[in-house]
């Protein structure tokens, strides 16, 4: 499992030691560790070279792909789930077609309508989005889910009602849904029907 934190639309400076978007992912890491404690699961974090996506450079996506290559060198051919928030979710979705990627879990993802989906054919994609998000658009996640399904992905959308982009309200729901998605995508537990890729309409947890 690889975690990808959020970032900015533009920014070429390196993330500092006190990186709030990275800190925001720590509870998700802890939830995943608890959920996989009885299994041999390797959990890592993608480190970005700079803070932003930066247009066509797509720096975060390039870093995600580099992390997957490094993981393969270290641990061999392992089934992998990418879990990303906001810009990190966009990077995870962009890298989701790489060899070994079993699925992608996008948290409040940034899903521009021009982003590709064909590479997700055959992959499982779970998008979680708060209905009070004012930073990234929940409807854009629904639209991306529908496009990915048309391209052959097993994509699903789950609405977290009453929560926004920072995932602070209803935090336990975010952490629990993510942990269950990860264990299901890795085949450690039965995959919940809400993550089965049967639809992209809002379905509250």
From edge to edge, which strands make up the β-sheet containing 101-107? Answer: 44-45, 2-4, 80-85, 101-107, 124-130, 154-160
> What confidence score (pLDDT) does residue 198 get?
65
Strand blocks (E) in 40-192: 44-45, 80-85, 101-107, 124-130, 154-160
Regarding the domain delimited by 2-195, which CATH topology (the fold level of the hierarchy) does it fall under? Rossmann fold (3.40.50)
What are the residues facing 155 on neighbouring strands? 125
DSSP state of 71: H
SS3 content of the chain, % helix, strand, coil (to 5): 35, 15, 45
Listing DSSP states for 16-65 in one string gives -SS-HHHHTTHHHHHHHHHHTTTS----EEPPPSSSB--GGG-HHHHHHH
Distances (CA, A) of 89 to 39, 69, 174, 181, 203: 25, 18, 14, 15, 20
Q: Is the Cβ–Cβ distance between 83 and 3 less than 8 Å?
A: yes
Q: Where are the domains of the chain?
A: 2-195
Provide the pLDDT for residue 202: 62
Block means of pLDDT (10 residues each) for the chain, 205 residues, are 97 87 96 97 95 97 97 93 98 97 98 98 97 98 97 96 97 98 97 80 54
State the sign of the Cα–Cα–Cα–Cα dihedral 107, 110, 113, 118: negative
Residue 204: its pLDDT value, please?
47
The predicted pLDDT at position 16 comes to 81
pLDDT given at position 143: 97
User: 93 φ, ψ to 5°?
Assistant: -65, -40
């Amino acid at each position: 499992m690889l975690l990808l934190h959020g970032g900015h639309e533009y920014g070429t400076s390196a993330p500092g030691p006190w990186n709030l978007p990275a800190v925001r992912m720590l509870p998700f890491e802890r939830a995943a560790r608890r959920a996989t404690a009885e299994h041999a699961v390797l959990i890592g974090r993608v480190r970005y070279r700079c803070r932003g996506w930066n247009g066509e450079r797509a720096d975060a996506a390039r870093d995600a792909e580099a992390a997957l290559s490094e993981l393969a060198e270290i641990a061999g051919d392992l089934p992998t789930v990418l879990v990303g928030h906001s810009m990190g979710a966009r990077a995870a979705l962009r890298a989701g077609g790489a060899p070994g990627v079993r699925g992608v879990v996008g948290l409040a993802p940034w899903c521009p309508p021009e982003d590709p989906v064909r590479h997700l054919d055959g992959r499982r994609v779970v998008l979680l989005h708060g209905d009070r998000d004012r930073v990234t658009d929940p409807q854009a996640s629904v639209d991306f889910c529908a496009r990915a399904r048309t391209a052959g992905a097993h994509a699903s959308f789950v609405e977290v009602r009453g929560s926004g982009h920072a995932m602070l309200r209803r935090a336990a729901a975010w952490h629990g849904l993510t942990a269950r998605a990860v264990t299901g995508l890795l085949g450690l537990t039965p995959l919940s029907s809400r993550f089965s890729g049967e639809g992209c309409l809002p379905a509250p947890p």
